[in-house]
């Protein structure tokens, strides 16, 4: 099957230009100058033509941090891989990187050989996912040898638990205390500690879901010194805050319990994160998609915030929410593509198969309509959640058409994919390391 995507504006990490994109089977065969002889002959020979007039043609989104079906706090994240990846497709994301292994140190080498090239460690959640400094340091030493990327959840979980116990003992059990007890300095401290450990081990380190100015400062400082230190942030830390969301009346704040927590609007975390995205101290936007329903799940913590399952679902909305950053003047169109697709591909060993519109790449393509609008709501989303953390947010753009490996998944407001369309991706090593 050959498909020609005509009359669109192709946007890549490095620029935008009018171009026709020829897809042959599962890959991109050519990017052609509109009106050229080559474009005309491609149009004559194509079995299918998709008109992209007025639309941006961008590489499919890559969400490098999701948790489908994650066991947490006596329940499971509410999206299965099937439901979650379908919701992702609705939102223009065609690739996810999930965390499925409980790897022992000795397994890291064989996993790297099987195409699992990044490993997430937790400085938070003592007694659950927590690794102590010795375990972290040893894993970093292994990563320094085999080229894997260590992804770090940097919060001082030991200190957080002290404040959590003290708050609960005082009867401060509402969701907002989840945020108040997870002090931003605890994220800054853990970030710095992980950087120092990584430098001694000689390993790169990638900070997941960075939320606080204190942590961003440590990352920026290390990067200024030339170290292989990278970080991502997530839409919830750009759009949502401690007071209005985690502190929502009644138990509604439970829907915003995630870790690190949403930060106060009275400091400058949100503005700093947007700036970090511009300066590349934050290289990537992922979602840390980890959905739970209010009913039967978030409700587990009605009497104690510490029992609320941690996580927010957002895999469906990342491309829209960060595109809105373009509309708001926070990012360029090219930087949107870079932070949401191209850099995730390069960081996690999927480039140039993914993350770019170029001959030979997988035909994962999104047509994005800047003249249409999207209203985010529980009534219209496709995730398995009974609320939306982004309820009522209006986006000045819309995912129009989504193609994955040459197959049209979303078109004319309908889903055309099928169970089993997805495939496991063997990943190589990060291309950012020298």
Contact window for Zn ion (CB under 5 A) among 135-143, 162-170, 243-251, 288-296: 288-296
Measured from the CB atom, is 31 or 68 closer to Zn ion? 68
* Rounded CA separation 394/398 (Å): 10
Count of residues touching Zn ion (by CB under 5 A): 1
Distances (CA, A) of 237 to 69, 125, 358: 23, 20, 32
Measured from the CB atom, is 160 or 395 closer to Zn ion? 160
Interaction pattern, residues 181-210, with Zn ion; x per rule: CB under 5 A: ------------------------------
Measured from the CB atom, is 63 or 288 closer to Zn ion? 288
Shortest CB 253 distance to Zn ion, Å: 20
Q: Tokens 């900070």 appear where?
A: 207
Shortest CB 413 distance to Zn ion, Å: 31
Binding-site member from 79, 232, 288, 338 for Zn ion (CB under 5 A) = 288
Residues contacting residue 305 through CB under 8 Å, at least 6 positions apart: 164, 167, 168, 173, 174, 175, 176, 177, 178, 254, 257
- Closest C-alpha among 361, 405, 357 to residue 32: 357
User: What is the H or E stretch that residue 401 is in?
Assistant: strand 398-404
Measured from the CB atom, is 84 or 397 closer to Zn ion? 84
Contact window for Zn ion (CB under 5 A) among 55-63, 189-197, 261-269, 281-289: 281-289
Shortest CB 208 distance to Zn ion, Å: 6
Shortest CB 353 distance to Zn ion, Å: 24
Shortest CB 42 distance to Zn ion, Å: 42
Contact window for Zn ion (CB under 5 A) among 141-149, 280-288, 319-327, 333-341: 280-288
Q: Retrieve residue 183's tokens.
A: 């002090």
* Rounded CA separation 186/284 (Å): 22
Contact window for Zn ion (CB under 5 A) among 260-268, 285-293, 356-364, 425-433: 285-293
Contact window for Zn ion (CB under 5 A) among 25-33, 192-200, 284-292, 385-393: 284-292
Beta-bridge partner residues of 20: 32
Shortest CB 289 distance to Zn ion, Å: 8
User: What is the H or E stretch that residue 56 is in?
Assistant: strand 56-59
Contact window for Zn ion (CB under 5 A) among 286-294, 361-369, 371-379, 418-426: 286-294
* Rounded CA separation 312/163 (Å): 23
Quote the strand ranges of 110-176, DSSP E. Answer: 118-122, 149-153
Environment class of residue 129 by beta-carbon count within 10 Å: exposed (0-12), middle (13-18) or buried (19+)? Answer: middle
Contact window for Zn ion (CB under 5 A) among 28-36, 163-171, 282-290, 389-397: 282-290
- The verdict on 63 binding Zn ion (CB under 5 A) reads no
Measured from the CB atom, is 80 or 380 closer to Zn ion? 80
Shortest CB 105 distance to Zn ion, Å: 20
Phi, psi of 96 (to 5 degrees): -125, 150
173: three-class secondary structure by DSSP: coil
Shortest CB 71 distance to Zn ion, Å: 13
CA angle 219/276/116 to nearest 5° reads 60
Give residue number: closest CB to Zn ion.
288
Q: What is the chain's length? A: 434
Q: Retrieve residue 410's tokens.
A: 């979303």
- Closest C-alpha among 128, 120, 73 to residue 101: 120
Shortest CB 122 distance to Zn ion, Å: 9
Q: Tokens 């138990």 appear where?
A: 251
- Please give the residue ranges that form the binding site for Zn ion (CB under 5 A): 288
């Amino acid at each position: 099957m050959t498909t020609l995507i005509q009359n669109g504006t192709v946007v890549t990490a490095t620029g935008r230009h009018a171009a026709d994109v020829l897809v042959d089977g599962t890959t991109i065969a050519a990017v052609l100058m509109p009106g050229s002889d080559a474009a005309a002959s491609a149009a004559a020979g194509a079995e299918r033509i998709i008109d992209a007039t007025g639309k941006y043609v961008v590489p499919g989104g890559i969400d490098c941090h999701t948790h489908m079906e994650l066991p947490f706090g006596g329940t499971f994240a509410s999206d299965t891989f099937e439901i979650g990846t379908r919701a992702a497709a609705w939102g223009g994301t065609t690739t996810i990187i999930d965390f499925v292994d409980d790897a022992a140190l000795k397994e890291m080498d064989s996993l790297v050989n099987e195409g699992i090239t990044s490993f997430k460690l937790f400085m938070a959640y003592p007694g659950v996912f927590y690794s102590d400094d010795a375990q972290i340091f040893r894993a970093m030493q292994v990563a320094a040898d085999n080229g894997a990327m260590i992804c770090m959840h940097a919060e001082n979980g030991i200190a957080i638990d002290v404040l959590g116990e003290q708050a609960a003992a005082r009867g401060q059990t509402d969701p907002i205390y989840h945020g108040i007890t997870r002090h931003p300095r605890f994220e800054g401290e853990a970030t710095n500690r992980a950087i120092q450990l990584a430098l001694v081990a000689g390993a790169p380190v990638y900070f997941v879901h960075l939320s606080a100015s204190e942590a961003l400062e440590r990352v920026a400082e290390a990067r200024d010194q030339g170290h292989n230190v990278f970080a991502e942030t997530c839409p919830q830390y750009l759009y949502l805050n401690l007071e209005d969301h985690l502190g929502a009346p009644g138990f509604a704040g439970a829907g915003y319990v995630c870790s690190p927590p949403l930060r106060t609007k009275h400091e400058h975390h949100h503005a700093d994160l947007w700036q970090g995205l511009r300066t590349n101290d934050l290289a990537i936007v992922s979602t840390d998609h980890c959905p739970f329903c209010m009913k039967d799940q978030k409700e587990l913590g009605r009497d104690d915030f510490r029992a609320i399952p941690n996580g927010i679902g957002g895999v469906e909305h990342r491309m829209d929410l960060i595109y809105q950053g373009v509309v708001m003047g926070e990012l360029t169109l090219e930087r949107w593509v870079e932070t949401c697709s191209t850099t995730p591909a390069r960081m996690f060993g999927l480039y140039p198969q993914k993350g770019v519109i170029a001959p030979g790449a997988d035909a994962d393509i999104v047509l994005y309509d800047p003249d249409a609008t999207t209203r985010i709501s529980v009534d219209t989303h496709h995730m398995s959640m009974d609320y939306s953390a982004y309820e009522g947010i209006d986006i000045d753009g819309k995912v129009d058409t989504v193609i994955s490996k040459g197959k049209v998944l979303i078109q004319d407001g309908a889903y055309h994919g099928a169970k089993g369309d997805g495939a496991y991706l063997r990943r190589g090593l990060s291309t950012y390391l020298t």
